Amino acid sequence: MSSAANPRQYIIKLIFIGVASVILLRLFFLQNFESKYKVMANDIAIYKKVVYPPRGVIYDRKGKVMLSNTTIYDLMVTPRNIKNFDTLQFCNALGLDIPGFMKIMKGVQSRNIDVRQSTFMEQLSPEQTARFQENQFSFPGFELVERNIREYKNATAGIVLGYIGEVSVDMLKKDRYASYRQGDYTGLSGLELQYEEALRGQRGVHFFERDKFNRPRDPYRGGALDTLEISGKSLELYMDADLQSYAEKLMQNKVGSVVAIDPQTGGILTMVSSPCYDPNLLRGKDRAKNYGALYREATRPLFNRATQAAYPPGSTIKPMTGLVALSVGAITPSFGLACYGSYNYCGRPIACEHKDGGHAANFRLALAHSCNSYFSHIFRLTIDYKSFGSVKVGLQKWHDYFSACGFGRQSGIDLPFEGKGLLPDTTTYNKMYRGVWNSCTVVFVGMGQGELALTPLQMANSMAIIANKGYYYIPHFVKSINNNYNDPLLKKYHEKKVVLNIPDSSFSAVQQAMQDVVESGTAIGAKVDGITVCAKTGTAENKALVNGTVIKMANHSMFVAFAPKENPKIAIAVAVENSGFGATWAAPIASLLIEKYLKDSVTVKRKSVEDKMFNAKLINKYVYTIDSAIRTHDAAVYKAKLERKHFVDSARRAQDSTLFIRWMEKRTRKK
Amino acid sequence: MSSLKKSLFYRIDGVMIMLYIFLVIIGLLTVFSVEHRSTDVTIFMANKNYSKQVIFFGYSLFLGLIILLTDSKFFASTAFLGYTVGVFVLIITIFIGVDVKGSHSWLGIGSFRFQPGEVCKIFTALALAKFLSLPETNFKTLRHRLMGVALALGPAVIVLLQNETGLALVYFCFLLVMYREGLPNAVLVIGFSLIALVLGTLLVERKLFFVLLTLLAALIGFMMRSLLRRKMAPRIILGGAWVFCIVFSQLAVPMVFKHVLKQHQIDRIYSMLGKEVPVEYNKNAEEGSDEKKVNASEYNVLQSKIAIGSGGFWGKGFLNGTSTKNQFVPEQNTDFIFTAVAEQFGFIGSLTLITIYVSLMLRIIFVAERQRSAFTRIYAYCVASILFFHFAVNISMTIGLAPVIGITLPFLSYGGSSLLSFSILIFILIRLDADRQAMIR
């Protein structure tokens, strides 16, 4: 047998080679042509880690940090890794009780499988973190994970700085948020929203290999595919953090707003919308809760009055009325009016504070004494000016002047959701009076009442125009982005805006008159030693619409000013709602701010005024009543709308089901 | 004789030794790549399996040396004794065995554990060789044939009782040896046809399989047309075979699957092949629950296919396999070790490995056929068959061509029992081969 070759050895060899060939053939196709396995291998084994860079820091004009980032900790747990540990000690460290602990643990276990890490507690307080870290080694399975959140250093300027939050599903559908993903944070208001692109930075993507428990291990291909994160750009503001907190303190317990602008650059030094809130409330885990509470607040702290609220300017508009009258040539500075306590040329008399004959003998005197008759008259003279031909052309011309000064339109400030205010033009009145009107019909506009309404920002900006004698820069907050003063985002704020063609002499006259207001007129209380302040007080009548009835409310105390006259450094507008005369509240607040800004401190002799302002509580009780009335009304409207929608939906459903039943019947009949 | 003894070193088969060492070293590197973590400080770590495998390799070489120094007659003379002891140990393992994943096939002595079923293959091979080479055995008689089959499959039954199906199936490879020694051709043809039929029925789409079977029948009929024209019997056989195949694949299997088997049994059969259960057999789907339970074996095969498939032509490189490094493939050290090779070295690596295996098996057959001693020849065939069965089934199951039964890849898989028993198999063969010039036993 051994000598003759047995044929069966070849058959067995053939079987070996044949089976090996079949295996090789299968492997050849599997390894070279079935690319789905490559995709699957990458899917299961490659973990894409998104690294978020720190958001940009915001500094004030002196380099003080206003908004930065801080690290907080989330407590994560991997249930499988938990070994025996002292539950009581653990609970003490975190301030929990045992049932609470059990509840969270149960929740964690039902949410996730044992081997995966999940959140046990979000955003631990510093004390919790410290106590946990002390004993971290005795709690295996628990781990602190770092997270960055925003920190508002002085807890000021919340309305300006804004806040961030997770992008919502609706936002993600928009093109603007194309580069965002669920769970990303984005600015939702204020500068955080306006400069989102700069502050955000660029997130980095790191690829890791992960094991079957989903734990990241080594960098994939040594990190060759990774992109590095780029940290957010820092912003330098014109804002003065000290002045800001001082202003907020002056405005506490009042409803109103303050806007201060540097006329030479258009940079905003201070912007307060009172009552203020602590911006630190609007971050982290309690954001939604706190937001709700602030939203429900009757005084509406989330509403930026400085850029969104439209106040009737009252007498503070008089410098502008005068300026336009002088500019078009309707009057000369020496024009005088004999006023004996009321203006009687237009039917119903318009009251004036002063009765002595000479108080409106010329423009300076009239402005210093804030004579209503005088300004009503010169407003009429302006729009009825003979070279315009008709009152309609005249009013439009006046509108153009005011519009050029920024009234009735958005200024373009670098804050989102800016208001426009109200500036009437011919169309407005044609609509209101069906085309039949004359200068007497609209006379109240001349003294800042009627259809005219301005935002505090617009008022402050008009002061900047008067201070600069005819030009302004669009008010803005940001001086530089990452120390680049010529960032494209800031380009429009470097353009000098010249306001029509108003002669210098008109400005001089108005400035002179405004100086008199402080030195011998209605705003003597606003005088600052050693500084020539030009100002105008205002006491604005206002009404509220509550449940369909118009109610006249206490006057707004208004004040506008700029200083110093020769080399203006600050232009300011203050509005204190429903508090009375402009000279009583708004004027001292503005002058204290001017003093603080220009001299860095307030003199001892004005401490009493300061204290008075700090302590005054000027929020009227009816604010709450009116607010609740408005909210009830809004809720009713919303409910009605919802009900209507619900009704339509149910009707449609009913129809659908009828159709379906019919179709079913037809089907069964066929069968 | 004395001159022969002096040159024992020159008489041992170098090719076999070389291929053996190649495979063991590939195995060590592969186990290393599976176990190695980038965080490891040193390469040689005592608590890692690859270190243990190196030690097992040392044991194997030591045992190999002892075997080479043993008189070759020893193996033939103690064959039946060893077989008896082996079967005895197998039987007591059922009762005192350690429970590992539901099977009682492991014996524990102190910290050392081994699988008697693995070792018993050697005794069975020796006993079968001895039985078939006995002068009084006439393998042409049915009685002796049945005795041979019983000798080979006896241990398989016991291993089956230990609940270790995979290992039990290995013993069927001895049928190949008996075929070489004179079992009729029909056994082989029918055996292979049945395996092909069962796998084809499960793996190939039913209508396509019908067409394939019919084409095959037509092809055979065309090739044997002269024979068919002359005689009746082949016609009946061919026709009968075709009808049987069709009935089996088109009627019997679907009937059994639909009406006899429970859903979990069907799931198990398909998941062992790493395939999803076809819609027609999925009884749960009809009830509308689309909850898909991923069976353990199905998961294994999917992960295994992912690892192999993602290796591509050139592979991902040593220690760069993402699936291997991160432990996605279960049992990758042992049953699925091939995936590590295929992922890291790609098709080229797979081709090389398979070539080495086939070379080793062909070399063993070459060695077998040059023997004057029937005992050595039959033993060599036993070794080749065991290697072949392990190799073919193990690799096939990683790529979804065979059901997942827990058998190892010879010389590569981690594990003392496996490596030691295969080493002993090979070394005994080398020792016997060294004495091929000696007198006929």
Chain A from 212 to 251: CB within 8 A of any B CB: 212, 217-218, 220
Which of A6, A13, A30 is the best substitution to test chain B (most B C-beta atoms within 10 A)? Answer: A30
Strands A570-576 and A549-563: antiparallel
Residue B174 is assigned to a structural domain of this protein: yes
Chain A from 611 to 650: CB within 8 A of any B CB: none
| pTM more than 0.80 | no
- 3-state helix vs strand vs coil in chain A, percent to 5: 45, 20, 35
Give the model's pLDDT for residue A4: 56
Which of B34, B306, B326, B373 is the best substitution to test chain A (most A C-beta atoms within 10 A)? Answer: B326
Annotate A244-286 with three-state secondary structure.
HHHHHHHCCCCCEEEEEEECCCCEEEEEEEECCCCHHHHCHHH
Topology classification of domain A49-237: Penicillin-binding protein 2a (Domain 2) (3.90.1310)
Query: The domain containing residue B357 runs over which residues?
Result: 2-183+294-434
Give chain A's residues under pLDDT 50: 1-3
Contacts of B310 in chain A (CB under 8 A): 37-38, 40-42
The span from the CA of B301 to the CA of B310, in Å, is 14
Pick left, alpha or beta for residue B30 (phi over 0 → left; psi -120 to 50 → alpha; otherwise beta): alpha
The span from the CA of A494 to the CA of A489, in Å, is 10
Q: Which residue has the higher pLDDT, B207 or B265?
A: B207
Beta strands in A393-523 (DSSP E): 471-472, 478-481, 497-498
In whole numbers, what is the pLDDT of chain B averaged over residues? 86
Give the model's pLDDT for residue B3: 47
Confidence of residue B19 (pLDDT cuts 50, 70, 90): very high
What is residue A608's DSSP assignment?
H
Give the model's pLDDT for residue B57: 94
Domain range list for chain A = 7-34, 49-237, 241-306+313-619, 621-671
Q: CB–CB of A440/A347 below 8 Å?
A: yes
The span from the CA of A268 to the CA of A413, in Å, is 9
CB atoms within 10 A of CB A646: 10
Nearest by Cα to A418 from A163, A195, A165, A190? A190
Give me the interface pTM, i.e. the ipTM. Answer: 0.90
Contacts of A5 in chain B (CB under 8 A): 369
Residue B375 is assigned to a structural domain of this protein: yes
Give the model's pLDDT for residue B164: 83
Q: Is A1 in contact with B399 (Cβ distance < 8 A)? A: no
Confidence of residue B30 (pLDDT cuts 50, 70, 90): very high
Give the model's pLDDT for residue A111: 67
- The string of pLDDT tens digits covering residues A385-412 is 877 778 888 888 888 888 888 888 888 8
What are the beta bridge partners of residue A72? A147
Task: Reduce the DSSP state of residue A461 to 3 states and report it.
Answer: helix
Q: Which long-range contacts (CB under 8 A, 24 or more apart) does B85-92 make?
A: B85/B123, B86/B116, B86/B119, B86/B120, B86/B122, B86/B123, B86/B124, B86/B155, B87/B120, B87/B123, B87/B154, B87/B155, B87/B158, B89/B116, B89/B120, B90/B116, B90/B117, B90/B120, B90/B155, B90/B158, B90/B159, B90/B162, B91/B158
Tell me the one-letter amino acid at A65.
Answer: V
- Radius of gyration (C-alpha) of chain A in whole angstroms: 35
Residue B217 is assigned to a structural domain of this protein: no
Hey, what's the torsion of the CAs at A433, A437, A441, A445, to 10 degrees?
Answer: 80
Q: Is A217 in contact with B306 (Cβ distance < 8 A)? A: no
- The string of pLDDT tens digits covering residues B52-78 is 899 999 999 999 999 999 988 899 999
Q: Is A16 in contact with B388 (Cβ distance < 8 A)? A: yes
Please report which helix (H) or strand (E) contains residue B422, including its range: helix B416-434
The span from the CA of A618 to the CA of A252, in Å, is 9
Give the model's pLDDT for residue A54: 84
**Token digits for B228?**
């068919």
Q: CB–CB of A367/A403 below 8 Å?
A: no
Fold: same for A49-237 and A241-306+313-619: no
What are the beta bridge partners of residue A546? A549
CB atoms within 10 A of CB A650: 10
Q: Is A13 in contact with B365 (Cβ distance < 8 A)? A: yes
Give the model's pLDDT for residue A579: 84
Residue B66 is assigned to a structural domain of this protein: yes
Residue that the structure tokens 């690892």 belong to: B307
Contacts of B388 in chain A (CB under 8 A): 15-16, 19
Q: What's the full length of chain B, in residues?
A: 441
Q: CB–CB of A93/A128 below 8 Å?
A: yes
Nearest by Cα to A254 from A231, A275, A235, A285? A275
- Residues 6+ away with beta carbon under 8 Å from B319: B33, B36, B325, B344
A412-450 CB burial, b ≥16 within 10 A, e <16:
ebbbbebbbbbbbbbebbeeeeeeebbbebbbbbbbbbb
Number of folded domains in chain B?
Answer: 1
Q: Is B388 in contact with A19 (Cβ distance < 8 A)? A: yes
- ∠ CA(B337), CA(A211), CA(B350), 5° rounding? 25
Q: CB–CB of B385/B365 below 8 Å?
A: no
Please report which helix (H) or strand (E) contains residue B192, including its range: helix B185-203
Give the model's pLDDT for residue B103: 75
Give the model's pLDDT for residue B85: 94
Q: Is B357 in contact with A13 (Cβ distance < 8 A)? A: no
The span from the CA of B41 to the CA of A370, in Å, is 87
Give the model's pLDDT for residue B235: 86
Which range, A385-394, B237-246, B277-286, has the best average confidence (pLDDT)? B237-246
Residue B280 is assigned to a structural domain of this protein: no
Task: Please provide the CATH number assigned to the domain covering A241-306+313-619.
Answer: 3.40.710.10
Q: Is B322 in contact with A45 (Cβ distance < 8 A)? A: yes
